[in-house]
Structure 1
Amino acid sequence: MILLPVHPEILEYVTRRRLLRTFQKQCLIFIADSDRPGLHTEMLEPKHLKIHSFRVNKKYRAIFIYRGPDVVEILDVNNHYQ
C-alpha cells in the first residue's frame, strides 16, 4: 500500500499533542497490514462517502480515503471522542 505524503498541518497537529512517533508507527503498521485488528480500521458514516479511519491511540484516530486500489491519503487526525 502507498501512503501519500501527510499534509504539514496534520504533522504539526500530532507533534503539538506529542503523538508524532505513535502516529508514524501506526502509519507503518497500516501500510503493512491495513486490516490488523489493533488498528480498529472502520468505514465512517455516511458510508457512501467512503471515508475510513484507523486508531492512532485510544484517544485519536486518523481519517483517510482511498485514492486508488492501493493508494491512501490521510485527511485528518482528530480526537475520537469530540
Structure 2
Amino acid sequence: MSEDEPAIDHLLFVYDLIGYYTETGVIEEGELPIIRFEASRVLHNKQMVKYLTWLDSEYAAVGITGPAYAHARKLAERVNHG
C-alpha cells in the first residue's frame, strides 16, 4: 500500500457516495456543477484510472463482482456530459 492510497480511497469513496446519491435522486443533476471541475479532474486523471483498473483486478482476485467505485465512475461520465 502506498502512502497516498488511504487518501485516494477516501476521495473515491466520497465521489462514489455522491454518484450513488445522484443516481437515487437525493442529489439533483442541477447540483453537480458545484463539483464538476474537481470530480472530472480527479476521476479522469491517468493515474486514478490506472489505480481503478488495478483495483478491479484485486476485486476479481477475491471474488467481488463489478468494478471498484462503480458509482464514482458513473459520476465521472455524468460530470463530463452535464
Normalising by structure 2, we get a TM-score of 0.31
Structure whose residues are more often strand by fraction: 1
Between 1 and 2, higher relative CO (CA 8 Å, sep ≥ 6) is seen in: 2
Structure whose residues are more often helix by fraction: 2
